Chain A
């Protein structure tokens, strides 16, 4: 069994996993970080988005062993005392209904700002959300929340 060590939300963690263990399984089952969700499990819905070495990826399609030596940030790691500006914006703008897709939406939104800057047009946001699905169809408020959250980041 491969031994993996990584830095998750600023803390060194290590453990053994199988070759086939997915990053999302390692986070949820080994580390108990259940904020990262498994939605479709086919890399389409984006509920499992986390950051690996600063880039948003789908943790359901990433092998835990491949993340050995990486820095991983999950939804649990974005708040610092108070809510992250993007989390706060989702709260303010009612950017969620059931909340299942929200961790992935927020991790995708933070990556969007890191890549495209703080001034995001509605077009850019909608285009960049291609890989995140909300089944409550709350996109309208999600887009508003990301636009507002981006400005405050």
Chain B
């Protein structure tokens, strides 16, 4: 890892100022992705701005929505009684990220801003119609994830909180890579009643996305069997040493069926 200047600003305003003044600064939240990336010399920022404390930790949960401050760790989300009650599928997803030690450090804001193609939270944002609040504006999840590690965030724009809509029923089913615990494929199915059904897929392509054909099939019949008629194409699926494109396409259907079955 190349050396850098470390900063721990008091608030987001100060963080933005440091980022602006730095040559090539990056914000860091839990650092669970950034630190390994710097160790591999895939990133060599001039300045690391540690915003975990500035972004803050905190959760508000009601029957209709869950609001989570960006610096909240995965462990806090997974064990929060309000989320477990009003949005159990989201608590379950947070409990499946990485391992216990990673969950004690990694944060929701960092995960979403990084948009790893195999991360879990992007699928939750899409399935739970999240609103991603930054220091500048509020962005709908549907317009946030742009591609491989790419988001709608602009320079010096920092996520401050994320607001999820609680579904009437839903579940996240994940086939983890046995070594990294990242999703080879993860599918989040959420039934929002009259606001419709959302099916979000992660790990399969270059970025989390919604599968509209599955959403349509499940609107007609919310049952695993309804997905038999939906063909998942392998054309744009990831293809690597962990799984071929065809295998991933197959997994999308299997995970979607499991998520529907677990939704109750």
Number of interface residues of B (CB under 8 A): 28
Chain A residue nearest to B179 in the complex (CB) = A44
Question: Quick check: A43 and B102 within 8 Å, CB to CB?
Answer: yes
* Docked pose: A44 CA to B31 CA in angstroms: 14
Q: 20 pairs across A/B with beta carbons < 8 Å?
A: A19-B3, A42-B36, A43-B36, A46-B99, A56-B104, A57-B101, A57-B105, A58-B102, A58-B105, A62-B105, A63-B35, A63-B50, A65-B6, A65-B8, A66-B31, A112-B100, A130-B99, A130-B100, A131-B101, A132-B99
Interface residues of B, Cβ cutoff 8 Å to A? 1-6, 8, 31-32, 35-36, 38-39, 48, 50, 52, 75, 79, 98-102, 104-105, 179-181
Known: A57-B104, A66-B31. Contact between A44 and B180, CB under 8 A? yes
Partner of A20, one of B38, B98, B99, B100: B38
For B181, the chain A residues whose CB sits under 8 A away are 130
Q: How far is the CB of A95 from chain B (nearest CB, A)?
A: 18
Q: Residue A61 at the B interface, CB < 8 A?
A: yes
Number of interface residues of A (CB under 8 A): 29
Question: Quick check: A19 and B5 within 8 Å, CB to CB?
Answer: yes
Indicate the member of B3, B6, B180 with the most A CB atoms within 10 Å.
Answer: B6
Q: How far is the CB of A58 from chain B (nearest CB, A)?
A: 5
Chain B residue nearest to A69 in the complex (CB) = B8
Question: Quick check: B4 and A19 within 8 Å, CB to CB?
Answer: yes
Question: Quick check: B50 and A49 within 8 Å, CB to CB?
Answer: no
* Docked pose: A77 CA to B101 CA in angstroms: 19
Partner of B6, one of A19, A44, A56, A131: A19
For B38, the chain A residues whose CB sits under 8 A away are 20
* Docked pose: A44 CA to B180 CA in angstroms: 7
* Docked pose: A27 CA to B157 CA in angstroms: 35
Chain A residue nearest to B5 in the complex (CB) = A19
* Docked pose: A143 CA to B35 CA in angstroms: 30
Interface 0/1 of A43-68, CB less than 8 Å to B:
11010010000011110011101101
Question: Quick check: A66 and B6 within 8 Å, CB to CB?
Answer: yes
Question: Quick check: A131 and B31 within 8 Å, CB to CB?
Answer: no
Question: Quick check: B31 and A108 within 8 Å, CB to CB?
Answer: no
For B50, the chain A residues whose CB sits under 8 A away are 63, 65-66
Q: Which of A87-131 contact B (CB under 8 A)?
A: 108, 111-112, 115, 128, 130-131
